[in-house]
Amino acid sequence: MRIILLGAPGAGKGTQAQFLSKHFNIPQISTGDMLRAAIAEGTELGKKAKEYMDAGQLVPDDVIVGLVKERITQPDCKNGFLLDGFPRTVAQADALKAAGVPIDAVIEIDVPDDVIVERLSGRRVHPASGRTYHIVYNPPRQDGVDDITGEPLIQRDDDKPETIRKRLAVYHEQTAPLVDYYRREAEQNPALKYIHVDGTQTIDKVEQEILAALEG
Ligand code: AP5
């Protein structure tokens, strides 16, 4: 099962990826988490990526494409993977296609901008695992700490209101065209499912709809 999750920042890609990754026993490949790990390690890639991420801009395509191509050749991806946050531009989608990587499903999680701002301002993250919570909609069992490790949760640097607005503008300009891109691909290729989900429903309902569409 090779899946792409598509949606605006804060649409719930990471939240659903955690569930789907467990359900299908395939790794979640989050380019955002990979870049944040590189920043935490202080690598050259991390230093370069941080400038773009703090500004709400996309990291250059060549950097990301190289990272993802390398990641999906690793042994844990042999039965499939879940791409969370990639591709994010038409150039990235073209690179994936040119690399001959077959995709079984593209899942679009559709959420309007006003809901996104509320979601991202209430998001809390466990940095080591990428596990995501929301102070109202998906609270941790104990205030301020991760359910599994008990370690502190943080608010991401790019979840400030002015950066959220920039990320949304970048999404509409550079990533939203992928909706039509993959709808067209699915029309031409019966092996590819295009699944559109209303992401304003509860987390459980979104999970159920995705699962029904994937397994139906
Ligand atoms: P990345 O980390 O990928 O961020 P993003 O796409 O902006 O997505 P988010 O992680 O913010 O949101 P999400 O959709 O995963 O939502 P979540 O499940 O957390 O990228 C960060 C940066 O890295 C980019 O800006 C860019 O600079 C760079 N980058 C990454 N990939 C790149 C690429 N391919 N090319 C170039 N640059 C790249 O949910 C959000 C909140 O809502 C949570 O609190 C959650 O609990 C809550 N929630 C989720 N679902 C629901 C629901 N149904 N109801 C109520 N609350 C919900």
Q: Residues 182-208: pLDDT tens digits?
A: 999 999 999 999 999 999 999 999 999
> Measured between alpha carbons, how far is 146 from 62 in angstroms, rounded to an integer?
34
User: pLDDT at residue 134 above 90?
Assistant: yes
Residue 122 contacts residue 137 (beta carbons within 8 Å): yes
Residue of minimum CA distance from atom 5 in ligand 1: 9
Count of CB atoms within 10 A of residue 36's CB? Answer: 21
Closest ligand 1 atom, CA of 53?
27
Pocket lining for ligand 1, CB < 6 angstroms: 7, 9-15, 31-32, 35, 52-53, 56-59, 64, 85-86, 88, 92, 119-120, 122-123, 132-134, 137-138, 158, 167, 199, 202-203, 206
Query: Is residue 98 predicted with pLDDT exceeding 90?
Result: yes
pLDDT class for 24, splitting at 50, 70, 90?
very high
Q: What is the C-alpha to C-alpha distance for residues 194 and 108, in angstroms, rounded to an integer?
A: 8
Task: Give the model confidence (pLDDT) of 99-110 as tens digits.
Answer: 999 999 999 999
C-alpha angle 49-109-164 in degrees, rounded to nearest 5: 40
Q: What is the CATH number of domain 2-215?
A: 3.40.50.300
Q: How far apart are CA 154 and CA 114, in angstroms?
A: 23
